[in-house]
Amino acid sequence: MSGARLDPGAVRRTLRAAGLRPQHRFSQNFLVDVDVLEAILDAAGASAGRTVLEIGPGLGILTGGLLEAGAAVTAVELDRGMVEHLATAFEPAIAAAGEGPRPPSPNPPGTLRLVAADILDANLSGLVVPPFDVVANLPYHVTSPILHRLLGAEPRPDRCILMVQREVAERIAARPGAMSYLSVFVQYHAAASLVRLVPRDAFEPAPAVESAIISLDVRPADGPGRLPPEMEDHLWRLVQTGFRERRKMLRNVLGRQLPVGQERVDAALAAAGIAGDRRPQTLAVTDWISLLGALGPLPPDHRGRRASLAETDAADLDGVADPDPCSDAGRGADAGPP
């Protein structure tokens, strides 16, 4: 689909011609606003030969723009009907990629590797090698697992341009006073900024919530403010613990939840210069790092388990509207945990 034909009627006609329809189970809402498409492409800054991982390409609305810019695109899509549509729509670009080097070596500029897979199960190191960028309209109910997948382990992208639910975007880019576990996790790994808001009518069918484009400039693994890998698990355990009771004072929740004793918690808060009556949402990433430095490595959880990612996500999204999730690709390659 070209930008000139990017409107709700054109999307419906394309779906009918391909024998497809939006799948609610894949959270499929398709981008129909040319200005929003151009905003994503401008923010991505894709250039000739740059490797781009696109998650959930759907009808290929964004894919076409990336290829026109000369990017070497690897697109991961879960919906088999969309995979078949993309294989037909981009047959020349896919064929040209097949004539180039084998994955994970970069494919030639302006070509497409199409992968039928779940991005949460895919071996990224077998698909792309750094440097690469990620461009995606994420299914909103699996935004957090995908961010953990992209940022939490190698290979990490240099940059991510993502469409997400507006409230989640604002939470990701929040400042101290409105922080969450997701804010701390993402901002530890990347500099986050909100590019622009996206109205509901930019999609067909229209979702129940507004969207936003966010930009994540990923920090080098050995850059300033980074912990040794063996200490990062302790950091996330500390942050998870703090946000289990986000409305409680830090000294109380950490004293109850951490197996180190109240005296050690109070001493660590004082050493880090953090008042014990502060709430977890008021702490910046650097505060959590300082607090961990004062506490030191954490012993095993006295409750016999660590907070699960699902638990943290549920608490982290407290107050965020339950959307009719939307993305160009819909759920695409993003069949994450329920």
Q: Mean pLDDT over all residues of the chain?
A: 88
What is the pLDDT averaged over residues 122-126? 94
Domain boundary among 218, 241, 276: 218
pLDDT band, very low/low/confident/very high, at 15 (cuts 50, 70, 90) = confident
Six-digit token string for 164 = 């997400």
Q: Is residue 186 assigned to a domain?
A: yes
Total domain count for the chain?
A: 2
pLDDT at site 322 = 56
Is the torsion defined by CA of 318, 322, 328, 334 positive or negative? positive
Domain span holding position 60? 3-218
Among 144-153, 177-186, 316-325, the least confident range: 316-325
Is the same domain home to 172 and 305?
no
Same domain, residue pair 234 and 214: no
Write out pLDDT tens, residues 314-335. 555 555 655 543 333 333 322 2
Region 24-34: mean pLDDT is 82
pLDDT over 70 at 276, yes or no: yes
Task: Using alpha carbons, select from 134, 148, 188, 151 the residue that is nearest to residue 310.
Answer: 148
User: Which is higher by pLDDT, 25 or 313?
Assistant: 25
Q: What's the pLDDT tens digit per position in 197-250?
A: 999 999 998 999 999 999 999 999 989 999 999 999 999 999 999 999 989 999
Q: At residue 284, does pLDDT exceed 90?
A: yes
User: Do residues 182 and 279 share a domain?
Assistant: no
Model pLDDT, residue 311: 52
User: Tokens at residue 319, please?
Assistant: 């107050």
Q: Which residue has the tokens 């991982």?
A: 53
- Mean of the pLDDT values across residues 178-206? 96
Query: Do 179 and 248 sit in the same domain of this protein?
Result: no
In a domain, residue 323? The reply is no
In this predicted model, what pLDDT tens digit does every residue of 82-118 receive, in sequence order?
Answer: 999 999 999 999 999 999 998 889 999 999 999 999 9
Q: What is the CATH number of the domain that holds 139?
A: 3.40.50.150
Q: Are 153 and 32 in contact (CB under 8 A)?
A: no
Together in a domain, 211 and 233: no
Q: How confident is the model at residue 21 (pLDDT cuts 50, 70, 90)?
A: confident
Query: Among residues 218, 242, 260, which one ends one of the domains?
Result: 218
Residue 263 domain-assigned (yes or no): yes
Q: How many CB atoms lie within 10 A of CB 125?
A: 13
Residue 4 has pLDDT above 70, yes or no: no
Strand partners, 74: 53, 113
Write the CATH number for 284.
Answer: 1.10.8.100
User: Is the domain of 184 the same as that of 269?
Assistant: no
Helix residue spans in the chain (DSSP H): 8-17, 34-44, 61-68, 80-89, 91-98, 143-151, 166-172, 181-189, 229-244, 250-257, 262-271, 285-295, 309-316
- Give the model confidence (pLDDT) of 41-84 as tens digits: 999 998 999 999 999 999 999 999 999 999 999 999 999 999 99
Kindly state whether residues 102 and 191 are assigned to the same domain: yes
